[in-house]
Amino acid sequence: MPQDVGAPVPQDAAQQDLALGVTMTITQADLPYLRAVGRLGEYAVVYRVWREQAGGGFGDQAKNPHTWGVLVYVDGQLARIYSARGAGREWSNLDRLEKWLRSQGFWYWWTRNDLEPLGEEDEAQPDAPEEIAVEGDAPDEEGAQPTQPTPPMFPSMPPEPLGS
């Protein structure tokens, strides 16, 4: 699914999941069975999502409107992990999420954040390394910059495991 960088960012979790191509939901309890019968993909996608759970502290939507959610591949289709109570699982801390992923048998995953800006383009970044010109990066005769192909929203294949 190609990423449309000009498309508006969805303002709630359901619209975001629709835009990302999520077609189903599963619970944590489904993971061992799906893995045992070979229907679960090898890697997960950790992504920034609009907070749905109300609560204090990090659950305060006004102060912290985003949280982390998890997508997995089931039979080649994207599925979001939901709780047994029927709400999307949310993590405010990537360290705890890493421990949860490893406890579920995931040893590598992709991370994406479409909701929070990386920073202003005109801001000076003193710690940023200088860009090195690469052949083919220069403007053409009319001064137009070369265009880069849009990367797919999710890779079609997981990366190769280390040491194989």
Q: How far apart are CA 67 and CA 82, in angstroms?
A: 14
For 100-148, write each residue's pLDDT tens digit: 999 999 999 999 988 887 765 545 555 555 555 555 555 666 666 666 6
Q: Using CB atoms within 10 A of its CB, is residue 83 exposed (0-12), middle (13-18) or buried (19+)?
A: middle
All residue ranges of the chain with pLDDT < 50 are 1-2, 122
Structural domain contains residue 25 = yes
82 inside domain: yes
**Other beta carbons less than 10 A from residue 13's beta carbon:** 20
CB 41 within 8 A of CB 158: yes
Asked if the structure places residue 159 within a domain, the reply is no
Number of domains composing the chain: 1
Residue 119 inside a domain? The answer is no
The residue segments making up the domain with residue 67 are 13-112
* 81: in domain: yes
This prediction's pTM: 0.65
Q: Is 46 inside any structural domain?
A: yes
Is 138 contained in some domain? Answer: no
